[in-house]
A and B are shown apart, each in its own frame.
Chain A
Amino acid sequence: MIASLPRSMWLRTATAAYVVAFLVFLFLPLAIVAVFAFNDAPYPAPPWRGFTFDWFTGNAASGRVGLFHDAALLGSIWTSVVVACWVTALSVAVGTANAFLMERYRFFGKGALSVLMLAPLVIPGVILGISILSLSSRIADLLLALFDVDLDFLRPGLPLVVLGQFSYIATISTLMISARLQRFDRTLEEAALNLGASQAAVLRTITFPYLRPALIGSAAISFLMSFENFNTTLMLVGADPPLTVMMYGRMREGATPVLNAVSLFLMLASALFALTLMRGGSRGGATRRPSP
């Protein structure tokens, strides 16, 4: 029942209990991960054996390789950052072009194109991955057979990971930027043009400043979604795995709490990220979109 209607004591208690249970369900796995980053034991499991920073600062000499000395793990974080920067740049650029295309122009096949643009959101990520893998391999094989050139970037590796992630993140940035451009008051541009401003000046001084929150918001979301992507990346990854794939591999082997340490680092980073976005006031930044 809604707040303005009388609710029985029983209903109030049940509602409160449900909310508490829900929040425990949401936060328990994260809290557990954080706590066991500091457990003085070789595996992230109970019982609690005392507090330690070993899983952050330990090095080979101390017998425990902590996060700050785990070259492979740090390397994979860097790989993820590089991939995410490429994906973000591509997605925001293409998303902006798409937003202007769909909001400002009429052309043949526009309806079909707008449906096609949304399609990546309903294609499972694994399939995006294998389809791009199969096409790029076919092209690479063809080039090898015809011209005897072997193009490395068409084989599994980071360039394909970037393309694979970009293929659906571009949809998300397009939606975010279009939503803001749609609410833009065109008379502002007309006024500037009437007053003698050039098209370029109007874009630079009026339209882009207006779009700025959406550009920043979509860049942040693109970065985050790229950083966290797993399904598509797994199919396209080559010799140097990004963080999520690296963590997955180690989790299957039964890893040390160094994974908890890197997870804690990720949690703090994304919390900071979320807070900055919400402070920035872009409402779209507060919600996330599904990653296939």
Chain B
Amino acid sequence: MASAPAQRLWQRRLVLTLLLAPALLWLFALIVLPHIDLALLSFRARSAPRHYQPSLNQYATFFAEPLYWHIFVRTALLSAAATALTLVIAFPIAWVITKVAQGRASALLFVVCLIPFWVSETVRALGWLILLRESGVLPALLVRLGITAVPVELLYHDATILTGLVYTSLLFMVVPLVSSLESLDNSLIEAAYDLGANGLAILRDIVIPHAAPGITAGCIVVFMLTLGNYLTPNLLGGKNSQWFTELIYTQFIVRFNWEQGAAFGFLLLALSTSMVALGLRLSGQRFVDVMRRS
């Protein structure tokens, strides 16, 4: 007959197994195995119908075809630009919320900033379409004000894509910035001010070092979301958007060339992962802490 402690141990093991099962099932069936499969797909080429052999063809195509890697580099650069712009635009607002506005006004401003992001990205893109297209609100307004003679097309420019991407990303920058600035003790700023530091010195020596974890978290999330965005570049950029996710979509869904699409997917994943790693390395933080914070 099993003793009581032994039975308790056995029971605990059973519960542990039951709790581990869903986690392992989720992570292996939906994350790990699909990515292994995607990798295998990207490294094979069809030699005859239903016959495949290992190959680097898809990656060779990527580097040999200037259009492909141009779009890849373009997507990376525009994403970086969108991330930087988002940080620059979001920082003053996070500062006002945490340091300038008081009490209820501060809480209210924070909530108001969050509200638009409860609405689907599709709806927000629709708003930009109605605002910016040739027959839209802003071109009509420009004509009315006498700035342009005829309505101009404001869609399909890189600046339009950037605007849309920054707009979609703001929340994911404001939230981590607010939470990191909240913990900055005001008396540090007051002390620096009393000792004669100017605004720029305070920002450089006190605020930015303190807010670094929030800045990193925000930048990582925004960069990754921008890089992987399909909807906003596609709708606001039209044929000119040349976003890398569109290449993946085209290969997978339109051309049915899954091997090529898988290779593109892996390249995008590699870029996104290496930027996340770089961000963590530069700021000396752990992945787990950053993701919990954001």
Residues of A within 8 A of B (CB): 1-5, 15, 18-19, 22-23, 25-33, 36, 43-47, 93-94, 97-98, 100-101, 105, 107, 113-128, 130-135, 138, 163-164, 166-167, 170, 175, 179, 224, 227-228, 230-231, 234-235, 243-244, 247-248, 251-252, 259-260, 263, 266-267, 270-271, 273-274, 278, 286-292
Q: Tally inter-chain residue pairs, CB-CB below 8 A.
A: 261
- Consensus secondary structure, chain B interface: helix
B123 to chain A, nearest CB (A): 4
- Consensus secondary structure, chain A interface: helix
Q: Which A residues are CB-close (under 8 A) to B258?
A: 134
Q: Are B27 and A116 in contact (CB under 8 A)?
A: yes
Q: Which A residues are CB-close (under 8 A) to B1?
A: none
Query: Could you tell me the distance between the alpha carbons of A290 and B219 in the complex, rounded to whole angstroms?
Result: 12
Q: Are B225 and A263 in contact (CB under 8 A)?
A: no
Q: Which A residues are CB-close (under 8 A) to B128?
A: 29
Count the B residues whose beta carbon is within 8 Å of the partner chain — how many?
91
Q: Are B34 and A134 in contact (CB under 8 A)?
A: yes
For the complex with contacts A29-B167, A122-B273, 13 further pairs of A-B residues with Cβ separation under 8 Å are: A1-B199, A97-B22, A98-B22, A114-B288, A123-B269, A126-B230, A127-B265, A134-B37, A134-B258, A170-B26, A179-B292, A228-B120, A230-B230
Q: Are B272 and A3 in contact (CB under 8 A)?
A: no
Q: Which B residues are CB-close (under 8 A) to A94?
A: 22-23, 26
B31: contacting residue among A2, A30, A116, CB under 8 A: A116
Q: Are B116 and A27 in contact (CB under 8 A)?
A: yes
Q: Are B140 and A47 in contact (CB under 8 A)?
A: yes
Q: Is B55 an interface residue (CB 8 A)?
A: no
Q: Which A residues are CB-close (under 8 A) to B37?
A: 131, 134-135, 138
B137: contacting residue among A19, A22, A32, A288, CB under 8 A: A32
B159 to chain A, nearest CB (A): 14
Query: Could you tell me the distance between the alpha carbons of A287 and B177 in the complex, rounded to whole angstroms?
Result: 13
Name which residue of chain B comes closest to A263, CB basis.
Answer: B123
Q: Which B residues are CB-close (under 8 A) to A287?
A: 114, 175
Q: Which A residues are CB-close (under 8 A) to B101?
A: 3
Q: Are B249 and A235 in contact (CB under 8 A)?
A: yes
Name which residue of chain A comes closest to B32, CB basis.
Answer: A116
B262: contacting residue among A30, A33, A134, CB under 8 A: A134
Name which residue of chain A comes closest to B117, CB basis.
Answer: A288
Interface string of B112-129 (1 = CB under 8 A from A): 111111111111111111
Give 18 CB contacts A-B under 8 Å: A2-B189, A22-B93, A29-B167, A44-B126, A97-B23, A101-B20, A116-B32, A117-B27, A127-B38, A128-B31, A134-B37, A134-B38, A163-B30, A166-B26, A234-B230, A251-B235, A267-B119, A286-B114
A227: contacting residue among B120, B221, B235, CB under 8 A: B120
